[in-house]
A and B are shown apart, each in its own frame.
Chain A
Amino acid sequence: MAVDSKTVFDRPVTLRDVVTHYCPGCTHGVIHRMVSEVLDELGLRERTCGVAPVGCSVLCYNYFDTDFMEAPHGRAPALATGFKRMRPDMIVFTYQGDGDLASIGMGEIIHAANRGEKFTTIFVNNAVYGMTGGQMAPTTLPGQITTTCPMGRDTSLTGEPIRIAELLSALATPGYIERVAVHTPAHILKAKKAIRKAFTLQRDNKCYTLVEVLSTCPTNWGNTPGEAIEWLDENMMKYFPLGCYKDYVEPEGS
Chain B
Amino acid sequence: MISLVKQHRLPTFSKSILIIVGGYGSGKSEVAVNLSRQLVNAGSAQVAIADLDIVNPYFRSREASEQLTSLGIRTINPTGGQHYADLPIILPEVKGAIEQRQGVLVLDVGGDDVGARVLSSLSGSFEEGAYEMLLVLNGNRPFTADLDGCLKMINDIESSSRLKFTGIVSNTHLLEETTAQIALDGLELARQVSRRSDLPVAFLSGLKEIIECDEFDNVDVPILPLERLLLKPWESSAGDE
Chain A directly contacts chain B within the complex, with at least one CB pair under 8 Å = no
A residues lining the B interface (CB < 8 Å): none
B residues lining the A interface (CB < 8 Å): none
